[in-house]
Amino acid sequence: MTYEKMTKIALIIYIIILFISFLADLSWLAYLGLGVLFLFLFFIAYKKRNKKDFIILIVAVIILLLLLLIF
């Protein structure tokens, strides 16, 4: 299993945990996790310096802002 595949699997599991923490009304944990997720995505986009990764980062930021507005 390659490093990129393991990173994607870990990212999906992390997003599921964050969504469950939102549903369980653990907002402090969810907000902390969203901040870490944002930094992780920014690090990946900066490391690769790929246009596709920066677009993913922008979409992730928009989704995070929508989640913060909803909850």
pLDDT digits (tens, 9 = 90+) for 6-50: 777 777 777 777 777 777 777 777 777 777 777 777 777 677 677
- What is the model's pLDDT at position 14? 76
Does the pTM of the predicted model rise above 0.75?
no
**What's the CA gap between 49 and 68, in Å, rounded?**
27
Domain map of the chain by residue range? 3-70
7: which residues sit within 8 A by CB, 6+ positions away? 44
